[in-house]
Structure 1
């Protein structure tokens, strides 16, 4: 029987190293998602203000982040800031900064869309019932906004987990970097190890992201009814 190279996964602690690398990816993603949600909510609320200055600033920020590829932002933060300003940033911290900037812009736009989708008569009905501005937001606006926002925020989480594979290019020892190290170390003894290593990474990402996508779909369908 032909040796297909699957044994490379079980040589030494290769599979354990892949799992450790995956945890680094998940950790960076979770930190970035949490910060993105917090800052994104604030940004989304600012974007709904009628002040022309705050609208202009938030729009410029949003368009800049959307136009600029995440890889370029990673290089700007990790290589540009460190050399130009003498700031000592690790690869992981640089990744968190970049993905938080990106996630904040995406989340802010989602929050803005969710807030403006609430019909005006909801505010008027709350006021007619004698509710204060804070009570209107607490009991009427925020619950409806969350119903619209949570599925979209969960989808953003899966996108962020997948996009963190870019951080291999700034030297972070995450799952893709570990894969490269294993393949390079076994390029002579197991020439076709890349198929099995990258195939394993595919399933690891799938195992992490698929339940999250299912949750988002289920919540979206449930709350539409």
Structure 2
């Protein structure tokens, strides 16, 4: 068969090792983004105009800049300007954490601001303090609205880690390219089957997350 080369030698194990690198970068970035994003979202709702302006500039900067450009800035720029030699994985985690926390912060802000003012008034009528009202009444409702888009953000982070190969990270797509180069002459159609295998690996990771997002969306509606 045309795809027999995928079963030869250590091809499958190499793909799985590359996949583990992809998952490691994704999971560490998501884990670091969660507390930073929640804190940023809560600060977004404060009435301090200077604080809101600073956070808005940060969010828009992260949104406007392509992730690949941010990777180049952190990986190459930090070494040139600051003398810091980050590895490809560390630079990737920094970029995806900055991106994830910015996007999550905006999601948290939107979820909190979507709660009707009547919920605050009802909490105050029960003699709850502002802090108690936020923690016991507003935050639980905001979390329910926040979960589906947050899961979608995780899938976006997982898929975007494929850009890390451009700064030398040997993740799953980079491993796939190495396999294609190795079997280039023996299997002319090897690229098609290799990228199909990569697609299946990403599908196996992201599809359950998409199902979880839809289930959470139905639960919260």
The range that moved more, 179-188 or 204-213, is: 179-188
TM-score relative to the length of structure 1: 0.96
Give the match for residue 52 of structure 2. 55
Residue 104 (structure 1) aligned with residue 106 (structure 2):
no
TM-score relative to the length of structure 2: 0.98
How far is the alpha carbon of 1:27 from its aligned partner? 1.1
Give the match for residue 128 of structure 1. 125
Q: Equivalent residues in 2 for 1:35-114 (5 A)?
A: 35-114=32-111
Distance in 2, matches of 1:110 and 1:159, equals 14
Residue 173 (structure 1) aligned with residue 170 (structure 2):
yes
Distance in 2, matches of 1:31 and 1:163, equals 14
Distance in 2, matches of 1:181 and 1:162, equals 19
State the Cα deviation string for residues 21-74 of structure 1 (Å, max 9, x = none).
111101111111111111011111111111111011001001100100000000
RMSD: 0.9
One of 12, 20, 27 as aligned partner of 2:24: 27
Between the two proteins, the alignment pairs up a number of residues equal to: 221
Give the match for residue 147 of structure 1. 144
Distance in 2, matches of 1:221 and 1:147, equals 11
Distance in 2, matches of 1:147 and 1:56, equals 27
How far is the alpha carbon of 1:167 from its aligned partner? 0.4
Stretches of structure 2 that go unaligned for 5 or more consecutive residues are none
State the Cα deviation string for residues 156-192 of structure 1 (Å, max 9, x = none).
0001100111001011010011011111111111221
SS at match of 1:137: helix
Distance in 2, matches of 1:38 and 1:46, equals 12
Give the match for residue 184 of structure 1. 181
